[in-house]
Amino acid sequence: MVDEVKRTLTLLKPEIRSRQGIDQFAPIQPRRQRTAKELEPIAEQVAENAAVMERFRAAIGSNNNALGREVMDEVTEYAQKVDPTISVSEGTRITAILLRKLGHFK
């Protein structure tokens, strides 16, 4: 057990990390989330998809959580087809934009 701990601690030494190339990885930069105004044109394109919007309207007020999750995923997936850089959180925000357009969340 003590030998395992020593080996683990040895891997944390800077000279070992640089030899193994661990230091070569750049830190992950957080990506700026788009504003609702920036997402509206994508929401408009999602709204033009009749099949997605039909399921979207069926899910509203249905109290069916599983259907709601499926529809949110569909909205996100379609938005990602329109713009592949759309994140999951932006897909959720697009869903909220569509809800506002249909008269919810006034």
Task: Give the pLDDT of the chain (106 residues) as one tens digit per residue.
Answer: 544 544 444 445 555 555 555 555 556 667 788 999 999 999 999 999 999 999 999 998 889 999 999 999 999 999 999 999 999 999 999 999 999 998 876 6
pLDDT, residue 9, reads 45
Q: How are the residues of the chain apportioned to helix, strand and coil, as percentages rounded to the nearest 5?
A: 70, 0, 30
Rounded CA-CA distance 94/53 in Å is 13
pLDDT, residue 47, reads 95
Q: What is the pTM of this model?
A: 0.69
Contact 42, 94 (CB under 8 A): yes
